[in-house]
Amino acid sequence: MRQSAPHASGKTLNLRAQVVKTLLAVQNGQSLASVLNQHINIVSDKDRALYHELVLGCLRQWHALKQVTLPLLAKPLDNAVVETCLYVGLYQLLCTRVAAHAAISETVEACKQLGMESLSGVVNAILRRATRETEQFYDVLEQAHGLPSWLFKRLKKDWGDDFEALSYELKQVAPLTLRVNTLQVSRDEYLEILEDEGIEAHACELSNVGITLDESIHVPSLPGFEAGGFSVQDEHAQLCAGLLPNLDGKIVIDACAAPGGKTAHILEKYQPKKLIAIDQDEKRLKRVTENLERLALSDSHVSIVTADAAKWTADELADCIVLDAPCSAIGVIRRHPDIRLLRQSGDIAKTVQLQQQILENMWSQLKVGGTLLYITCSILKVENEQQMVNFFANHADAQEQKIEAEWGIEQIHGRQLLPQSGQGDGFYYCRIMKSA
Ligand SMILES: C[S@@+](CC[C@H](N)C(=O)[O-])C[C@H]1O[C@@H](n2cnc3c(N)ncnc32)[C@H](O)[C@@H]1O
């Protein structure tokens, strides 16, 4: 068993203090994935499940918890440690089954351990009040949109009447969804394997190779993981391969490929003559190699290339380009709740510009008659519909191939999927053909 982290006085930090430290690192701009890698080792094995739940839950409810506490304070706390302790305490009281006395005493102790003894009384007082007025606190939490104000304004403008339902969905926990590697096993067969193991799951409605698990589970312990029987992939992300033309014998570029979810799906469905998987991030590209190896797809004709897709040029023009563009990732906020704190309003314009540069360069690598599928996991129109309006306005040789589907919302160009309870994340797809 691992040791808990010591703090300045030499005493070990309690679990709530460790949670607060992780949340402070995210507030300082570090991604949750990178912080978890460093912090998880100092959390004892028996505490890890609660540590994860408190970190992810607090991030998911961060702005909602802020909305709950603001009216209770005579003046803003202006102290990140105390504010974070308060949210960690309130989250336990309003959203978990942790006993109230343990939630309060452990959180107040964390506040002291983190050097804020003088302000721990404020935390104690508000948490005690929350135990007396739980229902009122809970109502405010439920009704809060839980978004930073810049994002609230953008989503309200983009989605008008659908905004309330959308902000509710964004606060939910996304399901664990698998994509079955049908080169190895059919979906029905894998569902039977899961049933035999006593794991409850059901077939996805929109993806014909998708399975959603009815409860969260440690993925590597699922049957067939090591042998490459499946990948973890959101249901709406699985729609990509079905929107492409037949790629057997074709030249394909996956312009922003890492960690390779869509690359692998393409190779499970088709046998391209050549597939070039590009990404700027060398570390993330290693995961493409690992994933293809695990799925027994590395013998396919794949080149993995570290390059800037806004500048890279191909040796020969491609029949098909999948452009899963870097984006704000607001559509996958359920799975990455740290985005609520990390993403800033000013990031969006830069991202839109990068998308436009990559689109521009990739368009010039496509054959006449070829198809480019533009994808984002964003739900902001500026990255999706508006990006495409501008693209079509500037490219007379671009023709939209409308996606006729039962799913999503038809946009001026392309189709938008919004996150849905028990189902997929927010994704945008637009299919473009190059005419002479
Ligand atoms: C949405 S993710 C791709 C997900 C991937 N297609 C999948 O299905 O697993 C976007 C990717 O774009 C990459 N990226 C960002 N800027 C890039 C650039 N200028 N050139 C190439 N890749 C870039 C990021 O490293 C990231 O891996």
Q: Which two tokens stand for residue 390?
A: 């501008």
Q: What residue's CA is closest to ligand 1, atom 11?
A: 256
The pTM for the full model equals: 0.94
Q: What is the distance in A from the centroid of ligand 1 to the CA of 408?
A: 23
Ligand 1, atom 2: closest residue by C-alpha: 326
- Catalytically active residues are 377
Going from the N-terminus, what domains does the chain have, and what CATH number goes with each? 15-144 (1.10.940.10), 177-232 (3.30.70.1170), 244-434 (3.40.50.150)
Using a 6 Å CB cutoff, which residues line ligand 1?
Answer: 256-262, 278-281, 284, 308-310, 324, 326, 358, 377
pLDDT of residue 11: 64
* Ligand 1 probe mutation, 238, 256, 266, most atoms within 8 A of CB: 256
Q: Kind and range of the H or E element at 261?
A: helix 261-269
Residue 432 — very low, low, confident or very high, per pLDDT cuts 50/70/90?
A: very high
Average pLDDT of the chain?
A: 95
**Protein residue with least CA distance to atom 15, ligand 1:** 326
| Residue 83 · residue 24 · CB < 8 Å | no
Q: Are 358 and 313 in contact (CB under 8 A)?
A: no
pLDDT at 4 over 50: no
- Determine the Cα–Cα distance for residues 279 and 282; give it in Å rounded to an integer: 7
What's the CA-to-centroid distance between 356 and ligand 1, angstroms? 14
Model pLDDT for residues 27-82, shown as the tens digit of each residue: 999 999 999 988 888 898 999 999 999 999 999 999 999 999 998 888 888 899 99
Distance CA 230, CA 291 (A): 10
Confidence of residue 171 (pLDDT cuts 50, 70, 90): very high
